[in-house]
Structure 1
Amino acid sequence: MAATAPRAHEPLTGGALVLGTVAVSLAVFMNVLDTSIANVSIPAISGDLGVASDQGTWVITSFAVANAISVPLTGWLTQRFGQVKLFFISIVLFVIASWLCGLAPTLPFLLAARVLQGAVAGPMIPLSQSLLLGSYPRARAPMALALWSMTTLVAPVAGPILGGYISDNYSWPWIFYVNVPVGIVAAVATWFVYRSRESAVRALPIDKLGLFLLVVWVGCMQVMLDKGKDLDWFSSPTIVVLGLIALVGFAVFVIWELTATHPVVDLSLFAKRNFTGGTIALAVGYGLYFGNLVLIPLWLQTTLGYTATNAGLVLAPVGVFAILLSPLAGRLLTRTDPRYMATSAFVIFAIVFWMRSRYTTDVDTFSLMVPTLIQGAALAGFFIPLVTITLSGLPGERIPAASGLFNFVRIMFGGIGSSVFTTAWDRRTSLHHARLIEQATPYNPTFTQAIDRMQSLGMSHTQALGAFNAALGQQASTMGVDDLFYLSAGIFLALIALVWITQRQKAEGDAGAAASAAH
């Protein structure tokens, strides 16, 4: 069936603009929050449902797999159902799935609800970008992106803090119940504002083979990433099989989608220089950011003795500058080449991680929080210009597909980043521990003096050796995390080259290019 005639919509104004922005932002915040809020609650969930902690981690994995599969389907689903209807249905089903998660009496029931939750969450973030860009005048597109970025930057940090607080003071079902009132408000406001602004729809045939291949390779890859560390990666036959299936499935998927008449994922977008350069720069940068976002609380809790809540609070200052500067970054983008802003963000990221690479086991809370505070400035100039670059020059009907695809790549690299960083930290820690323990010999006066000093405090020789080994482990762990901070700084500097592969869009105006496409 031929597409219905495209309908142009004027930008929203006044109360409708405010209400629409709030509705979309609430939906995005609720969505992103759920990617991290359950992480610190796994012990409570596992204990209450009577399962082992390693089984409880499937609460995270099930959501991540379903979400990763559904995100790249956004473009195809939008053309079939319309972006407003799809966004509204996604919010309603997300609320229902959250309610079912809280009611779950058994782990299988909870996992089924989390799969539904992750699947319907997929289209929400790409469509939120499309709806916001279509709501604002072309010249104010950066402001729309700034408002969107604030929710996506703050939610991952707020998730562990809120999840830890709820688990400590209430009960774990409330980490899901909190979505219900928020989702209801977002759904009602979305329908009220956007119901008359539906996008063009057309009855596309279902690319069954493409969809099957997508489910297979993404599902296998996501399970491999989530379970790789627990199963010691490629020493496990399970991980090897998952990796091979993911690799072969991906290769066949790419070939099929590039030749299919109606592909389920529009890979031809990668033929555009700005989309490719912006997507890779954003995805790798996000992978580094998210990998460290997972790594830092682990290091603080396992090495420095921080509680989960306090570890989360150390990361909280990142939201200060991110919230304050994002609107400013949006305004500056109307007069500045977005590549300069992205370059500045990567330089600040590099400085932040270099500062962190100087940490010792004696680091105080203030020294931990200063780089986190500065990092907020980098985040304010990270998402907005890169999203602008990535979507620039695309016609309106391709915005949902492009947004879905680059968000899929971003989410995928976030999973890769967290898996790689936690594994690399373990291995660097083991390496440093082995090197340090080589110095613990009776011929090393520093070692013998340390043992003698502990024995003089009343420890036995065995206790003194145990205490020395614990201190050595703490030192090795910190050295390992410092290595990864230093590496992150170098990679952020290298990413600047990707930013400058892209081209400035002069015809539409840098800031308004993406917004004009959405009208």
Structure 2
Amino acid sequence: MARGAQGNGADDGWTPERSVAGSRNPWSIVAVISIATFMTVLDTSIANVALDHIGGGMSVTYDEATWVTTSFLISTAIIIPISGWLADVIGRKRYYMASVALFTISSFLCGIAPNFTFLVLARVLQGAAGGGLAAVEQSMLVDTFPPRQRSLAFAAYGIVVIAGPVLGPVIGGLITDNASWRWCFLINVPIGALSLFLVHLFVDEPKALQDERRQMLEGGLKVDFIGFLLVAGFLGFLEV
């Protein structure tokens, strides 16, 4: 009765020991990860309106140019199922920062791509980095916010997830008409650098997660490579 009277019953089972916010306001985490989130989901659609220009600049047909989008989606779909495991092995903050860094670098490579094959390969890297961000961000929110606040946190996060693909064609069209299609990718470089800096400052690696990671590594890594290859192949062909 006392617990119910205090209004904390909805938070039973949640502990702040796993929060990545540390002693900071948990809403700072939503603000920080929203930058990388917006950058990632924006790239699912920003290049769509530039495919004609990309095809013309790279001397490929429109159908071939669609691989700029398809390759990104395929690698994103493949990496998501193992993102949680990779975050546990590497460390969640370290894996998240590596994904942001890889997304930023691959965006730069897309922007300076000398040929179409190079561009598609850079988009594969970009998609793999983006897929790694999505799963880790959601686990961060779950661990940082108690159940009674979690719906609001995910609502704010969801607004960013929806806004990216909606604004992507608009931003992509403006960039392509007024500059070059290459800036559809180069625009991510300063955003990614800012995100990396803020994640380093505001996101913690809780001791509870460090202890769990240490115990897992001491017990030995177990990987179902056959299962992963089957899932990766299925998701890859599904996207194609």
Q: Please, what TM-score do these two structures have when normalized by structure 1?
A: 0.40
Q: CA deviation at 1:12?
A: 3.8
The answer for the alignment partner of 2:130 in structure 1 is 121
Q: 2:104 aligns with which of 87, 95, 120?
A: 95
Q: CA deviation at 1:79?
A: 2.1
Q: CA deviation at 1:19?
A: 3.6
- Give SS of 1:220's match: helix
Q: Is the 8 A contact 1:30 1:183 kept in 2?
A: yes
Q: 2:58 aligns with which of 29, 49, 53?
A: 49
Aligned mates of 2:84, 2:138 — CA distance in 1: 13
Q: CA deviation at 1:158?
A: 0.3
Q: Is the 8 A contact 1:12 1:136 kept in 2?
A: no
Q: 1:158 aligns with which of 144, 167, 170?
A: 167
Residue type at the aligned position of 1:216: G
Q: Which stretches in structure 2 are left out of the alignment for 5+ residues?
A: 1-14
Q: Does 1:67 align with 2:76?
A: yes
Q: 2:233 aligns with which of 209, 216, 238?
A: 216
Q: 1:85 aligns with which of 64, 71, 94?
A: 94
How many correspondences in the alignment? Answer: 218
Aligned mates of 2:225, 2:143 — CA distance in 1: 31
RMSD (Å), alpha carbons: 2.1
Aligned mates of 1:11, 1:109 — CA distance in 2: 37
Change (3 A) 1:13 1:53: same
- Give SS of 1:154's match: helix
Aligned mates of 2:44, 2:66 — CA distance in 1: 13
Aligned mates of 2:173, 2:26 — CA distance in 1: 34
Aligned mates of 1:75, 1:24 — CA distance in 2: 17
Q: CA deviation at 1:10?
A: 5.2
Change (3 A) 1:216 1:9: closer
- Give SS of 1:8's match: helix
Q: CA deviation at 1:197?
A: 2.6
Matching of residues 137-156 of structure 1 within 5 Å? 137-156=146-165
Which structure carries more relative contact order (alpha carbon 8 Å, separation 6+)?
2
Q: After the TM superposition, which of the residue ranges 177-186 and 127-136 deviates more from structure 2?
A: 127-136
Q: Please, what TM-score do these two structures have when normalized by structure 2?
A: 0.84
Q: 2:142 aligns with which of 117, 122, 133?
A: 133
1:484-511 CA distance string (max 9 Å, x none)? xxxxxxxxxxxxxxxxxxxxxxxxxxxx
1:373-431 CA distance string (max 9 Å, x none)? xxxxxxxxxxxxxxxxxxxxxxxxxxxxxxxxxxxxxxxxxxxxxxxxxxxxxxxxxxx
Residue type at the aligned position of 1:141: R
Residue type at the aligned position of 1:193: F
Q: Is the 8 A contact 2:103 2:130 kept in 1?
A: yes
Q: 2:224 aligns with which of 176, 200, 207?
A: 207
Residue type at the aligned position of 2:110: C
Q: Is the 8 A contact 1:36 1:156 kept in 2?
A: yes
The answer for the alignment partner of 2:11 in structure 1 is none
Aligned mates of 2:198, 2:21 — CA distance in 1: 14
Q: Which stretches in structure 1 are left out of the alignment for 5+ residues?
A: 1-5, 224-519
Residue type at the aligned position of 2:169: P
Matching of residues 462-501 of structure 1 within 5 Å? none
> Which structure has the larger Rg over C-alpha atoms?
1
Q: Does 1:34 align with 2:43?
A: yes
- Give SS of 1:205's match: coil
Q: CA deviation at 1:156?
A: 0.9
Aligned mates of 2:21, 2:171 — CA distance in 1: 33
Aligned mates of 1:129, 1:192 — CA distance in 2: 19
Aligned mates of 1:14, 1:196 — CA distance in 2: 12
- Give SS of 2:17's match: coil
Aligned mates of 2:46, 2:174 — CA distance in 1: 10
